């Protein structure tokens, strides 16, 4: 199934958006995310599918649930790390690989 | 009446500061020279304030409560926001604001169909950090007024709404600010990119070159007919529409010739990078 434009799925009320904004602003929470991810996620009212998407790094599922792509890109960097001086970093590659997982091969 | 003394626009792709050297030497030269030219133009314009209009990137406001425009009315502005530092690789900067001018702009622009808010402090990522660093503006001590724009959270004020906001901004600058003030405008964002989407690693070079040539022709009605919000989204969802900030500048100045200073499609930058200046 080809992904539609993100606005088809966008759900502004998903707690993932707040999670990402909070993590960007809080170094301690970012460190905790890497030590004890569940403890960070427990503090948010995530839908079960939303939480599973984060835990499984299933960005495609999160996109289909309605997480905004900007927040997805930042979530990927929060989970995989920001690599200094990197272009196509591990975070962006993992994100795109997940998003295109079930796409038909280009003709 | 105050004057719009300079008007420019450029991309703010994080790769331009964060991983500049991934581009070919020729592309680095071309983009570096263009930002230097913008910096010289800003310095030569003897500005009382520079307005940078840029996508907020869901940085200062949550998506469930998102304004269309936010005017930075603080006395100081600093950046980049801490989390973005290793990504952007720019020196910390602190710049004076222009609270009196900014408050007049806010008061005159608020209250129509768009939701316009103000903020004393704002966090900046690549949207402000890349242009102020690459142009050298960060160290020029010219007052900055950041105007954050919603280019990406549906419903986005489209091409005509952005241009109309620019027309109102231009009127307020000319009619409501104290006489003699010299104001600069900088549209920050674009060109084609799709941050966080399935085409995250792609650039639509054909769209970018077409858009820049359309601007160079200088016919704003043609720009508004053809370079629609929908067309921008087709060239990279959620990111290319940062060109709406360029349309704000165009609305404010009206029809003037435009020089394209550079364009490079560097795959590792994941964003078409161009810069223009209008002859006023």
Q: Does A56 touch chain B (CB under 8 A)?
A: no
Q: Cβ-count burial of A83 within 10 angstroms (0-12 exposed, 13-18 middle, 19+ buried)?
A: middle
Q: Does A99 touch chain B (CB under 8 A)?
A: yes
Q: Does B66 touch chain A (CB under 8 A)?
A: yes
pLDDT at position B93 is: 97
Q: Which of B21, B83, B195 sits opposite A69 (nearest CB)?
A: B195
Q: Which residues of A touch B194 (CB under 8 A)?
A: 69
Q: Which pair of tokens denotes residue B38?
A: 């913008």
Return the residue of A nearest to B233 by Cα: A5
Domain ranges of chain B: 3-278
Return the residue of B nearest to A98 by Cα: B198
DSSP string, chain A: -PPPPGGGT--TT-HHHHHHHHHHH-HHHHHHHHH-HHHHHHTS---HHHHHHHHTT-HHHHHHHT--HHHHHHHHHHHH-PPTT-SS-HHHHHHHHHHTTTPPPP-
Q: Which of A17, A99, A103 sits opposite B63 (nearest CB)?
A: A17
B238: distance to nearest CA of chain A, Å? 8
Residue A6 has pLDDT above 90, yes or no: yes
CA B83 centroid distance within chain: 21
Question: Average pLDDT, whole number, for chain A?
Answer: 92
ipTM of the complex: 0.95
pLDDT at position A105 is: 65
Q: Which of B83, B152, B237 sits opposite A24 (nearest CB)?
A: B83
Residue A107 has pLDDT above 60, yes or no: no
Q: Does B268 touch chain A (CB under 8 A)?
A: yes
- Interface contact B196-A12, CB threshold 8 A: no
Query: Could you say which residues from 201 to 240 on chain B have a Cβ atom under 8 Å away from some Cβ of chain A?
Result: 201, 233, 237-238
In this structure, are residues B127 and B32 in contact, taking their beta carbons and an 8 Å threshold? no
pLDDT at position A84 is: 66
Q: Does A8 touch chain B (CB under 8 A)?
A: no
For A35-83, the pLDDT digits (tens) are 999 999 999 999 999 999 999 999 999 999 999 999 999 999 999 987 7
Which domains, ranges and CATH numbers included, belong to chain A? 6-99 (1.10.700.10)
For B36-89, the pLDDT digits (tens) are 999 999 999 999 999 999 999 999 999 999 999 999 999 999 999 999 999 999
pLDDT at position A87 is: 61
Taking alpha carbons only, the member of B125, B196, B160, B151 closest to residue B55 is: B151
- Residue B112 pLDDT level (bands cut at 50, 70, 90): confident
- Residue B147 pLDDT level (bands cut at 50, 70, 90): very high
- Residue B141 pLDDT level (bands cut at 50, 70, 90): confident
- Interface contact A70-B58, CB threshold 8 A: yes
Residue B219 has pLDDT above 60, yes or no: yes
Structural fold of domain B3-278? Protocatechuate 4,5-dioxygenase; Chain B (3.40.830)
Q: Cβ-count burial of B46 within 10 angstroms (0-12 exposed, 13-18 middle, 19+ buried)?
A: exposed
- Residue A90 pLDDT level (bands cut at 50, 70, 90): confident
In this structure, are residues B6 and B45 in contact, taking their beta carbons and an 8 Å threshold? yes
For B2-47, the pLDDT digits (tens) are 999 999 999 999 999 999 999 999 999 999 999 999 999 999 999 9
* CA distances from residue A89 to A71, A86, A100, B201, B257 in whole angstroms, order as listed: 16, 5, 17, 10, 39
């Amino acid at each position: 199934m080809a992904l539609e434009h993100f606005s088809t799925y966008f759900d502004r009320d998903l707690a993932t958006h707040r999670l990402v904004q909070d993590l960007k602003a809080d170094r301690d929470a970012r460190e905790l995310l890497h030590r004890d991810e569940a403890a960070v996620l427990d503090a948010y009212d995530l839908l079960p599918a939303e939480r599973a998407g984060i835990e499984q790094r299933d960005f495609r599922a999160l996109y289909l649930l309605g997480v905004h792509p900007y927040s997805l890109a930042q979530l990927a960097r929060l989970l995989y790390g920001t690599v200094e001086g990197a272009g196509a970093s591990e975070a962006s590659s993992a994100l795109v690989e997940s998003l295109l997982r079930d796409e038909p091969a280009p003709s | 009446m105050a004057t719009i003394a300079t008007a420019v626009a450029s991309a703010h792709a994080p790769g331009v500061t964060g991983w500049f050297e991934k581009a070919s030497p020729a592309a680095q030269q071309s983009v570096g020279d263009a930002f230097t030219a913008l910096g010289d133009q800003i310095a030569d314009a003897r500005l009382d304030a520079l307005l940078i209009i840029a996508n907020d990137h869901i940085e200062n406001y949550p998506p469930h409560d998102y304004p269309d425009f936010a005017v930075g009315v603080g006395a100081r502005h600093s950046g980049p926001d801490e989390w973005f530092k290793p990504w952007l690789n720019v020196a910390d900067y602190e710049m004076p604001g222009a609270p009196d001018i900014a408050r007049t702009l806010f008061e005159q622009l608020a209250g129509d169909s768009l939701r316009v808010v103000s903020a004393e402090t704002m966090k900046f990522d690549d949207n402000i950090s890349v242009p102020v660093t690459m142009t050298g503006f960060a160290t020029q001590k010219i007052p900055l007024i950041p105007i954050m724009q919603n280019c990406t959270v549906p419903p986005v004020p489209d091409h005509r709404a952005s241009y109309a906001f620019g027309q109102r901004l231009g009127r307020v600058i000319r009619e409501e600010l104290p006489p003699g003030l010299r104001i600069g405008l900088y549209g920050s964002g674009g060109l084609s990119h799709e941050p966080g989407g399935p085409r995250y690693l792609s650039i639509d070079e054909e769209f970018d070159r077409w858009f820049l040539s359309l601007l160079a022709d200088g016919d704003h009605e043609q720009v508004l007919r053809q370079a629609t919000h929908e067309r921008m989204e087709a060239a990279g969802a959620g990111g290319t529409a940062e060109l709406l900030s360029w349309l704000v500048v165009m609305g404010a100045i009206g029809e003037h010739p435009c020089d394209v200073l550079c364009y490079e499609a560097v795959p590792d930058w994941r964003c078409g990078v161009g810069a223009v200046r209008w002859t006023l």
